[in-house]
Amino acid sequence: MRVGEVCLRVFDLDEARRHYGERIGLIETHKGDRDKLYYKASDEHDIYSLVLMQSDTPGIEYFAFKTYADSDLERFEKALTEYGLTVEHIPAGTYPRSGRRIQFRLPSGHLMQIYAQKDQIGNGMPTHNPGTIPDEGYIRGMRVIRLDHILLGSSEIMRNREIFTSIFEMSISEELISHEDETRIAIFLTGSNKPHDIAFVLQPDGNRFHHISFLLESVNDLFHAGDLIGKYNIAVDVSPNRHGVTRGATIYFFDPSGNRNEVFTGGYVHYPDTPQLTWDTSQIGRATFSHDNMPRQSFLDVLT
Ligand code: M3P
Ligand code: FE
C-alpha cells in the first residue's frame, strides 16, 4: 500500500525531537520507550510513521511497507523464501500498537518489514462531517502532510528491482541510467499513484540511507519550510529546486545526525498505464535539479 514506517538512527534524542518535532512539526504520538521517539504527520491516520532510535551511527535501521490484508504476509513470505531470502516472523505487539510483521534483509542490505495492521488515531478531524482543517496547532512547523518516500543506496539495486516488481507487484515509474553502458544508476518504484514510494540509487556500499521525504501542500509551504530552515540554521543540502525525475519541487536538508531530509510538493499522478520514463547521465543535472540543470556531487555521494 505504501511505505508506512521508517526507523532512523540518531545520535541524540533531544536534538532529534527539536528537529523533527519542533522544526519540521511532526506530532509525537507514542511515548514509553526510553531510546525511541514515535511521530506521525498531520494527515496520516496510523499512530506513527517515523521512529527515531538513539544510536552511535546515523542511517536507516529498517523500513516497513503496509499491505492491505494479513493474508498478504503469507503470500509474500512464500515468494521471498522461494527467491532465496530468509524471512523472520515478528509477533503482534513487538512494535507498539502494531500487528504482526515479516522481516527480511533485501539484496541491497536494507532491513525491510511488511505489516497489515497498525492502530489508527486519526488526522485530528472526525470521520463524520470531518471539516477541512484540524484544530489550531495540529498542523505546525513545516506543515508536513505525510511521509511520502525514501531513497536508499546500495551496490546491489538490480535484485531489489526484481523483488519490488515481481513479488510486490510495484511499477517502475522512472530510471536513471548511464549513457555509456546503460547501467541503472537510480530506480524509482511506485505501488500507488505517487511518482514513487521508494527508490534505490547505485552506491559503492550496501545498506545506505539517502533521504526521507515529507510531502507539503504547496510551493508556498515549501518556501515557508525554507524560511524555517534558514531561521533555525538547519544544514541545507539543496535549496528550492525542481527534480526532473518525479517533477517534485524540493528542498534537501540534514537532521542533527547528518541524515538527509527532503520536503517536497507536486509531481505527477502515476496511473497504472503511465509509461515508464528513462533519464540518462548525459542529462543528470536536469534529471536531479531542473532549475539550474546542475549535477551536485554532494547529492550523489553523501549518505548515512
Ligand atoms: C527525488 C524525488 C535522483 C533523484 C531523486 C529524486 C537520485 O528524491 O523526490 O523526486 O536522481
Ligand atoms: Fe525524494
Which ipTM was obtained for this model? Answer: 0.94
From the CB of 186, is ligand 1 less than 6 Å away?
yes
- Closest by CA position to 210, among listed 143, 285, 162, 149: 149
Domain locations along the chain: 2-115, 146-301
pLDDT tens digits, 43-66: 999 999 999 999 999 999 999 999
pLDDT at 32: 83
Q: Which amino acid type is present at position 180?
A: E
**Angle at the Cα of 112 (from 7 to 146), degrees rounded to 5?**
50
Expressed in angstroms and rounded, the spacing between residue 187 Cα and the centre of ligand 1 is 9
Please list the active-site residues: 149, 196, 211, 243, 252, 262
In the beta sheet, which residues pair with residue 200? 152, 187
CATH of range 146-301; options 3.40.50.1170, 3.30.2350.10, 3.40.50.2000, 3.10.180.10: 3.10.180.10
From the CB of 194, is ligand 1 less than 6 Å away?
no
DSSP secondary structure code for residue 22 in this structure: I
- Closest by CA position to 239, among listed 286, 299, 303: 299
**27, 37 contact by CB (below 8 A):** no
**23, 141 contact by CB (below 8 A):** yes
From the CB of 251, is ligand 1 less than 6 Å away?
no
C-alpha cell at 18: 527539536
Task: Look at the pTM and tell me if it is higher than 0.90.
Answer: yes
Alpha carbon distance 66, 118 (integer Å): 9
Is domain 2-115 classified as CATH 3.90.420.10?
Answer: no
- The closest residue, in CA terms, to atom 3 on ligand 1 is 288
Host H or E run for residue 53:
strand 50-54
Q: CA 154, 155, 159, 161 torsion: positive or negative? A: positive
pLDDT at 282: 97
pLDDT at 137: 96
Alpha-carbon distances, residue 189 vs 55, 116, 162, 167, 278 (angstroms): 29, 20, 11, 13, 13
C-alpha cell at 165: 516488481
Q: What is the mean pLDDT of each run of 10 residues along the chain (304 residues)?
A: 98 98 98 94 98 98 98 98 98 97 98 98 98 97 98 98 98 97 96 97 97 98 98 97 97 98 97 97 96 91 93
Alpha carbon distance 168, 191 (integer Å): 8
Instruction: Note the Cα 283 to chain centre separation in Å.
Output: 25
Instruction: Tell me if 2-115 shares its fold with 146-301.
Output: yes
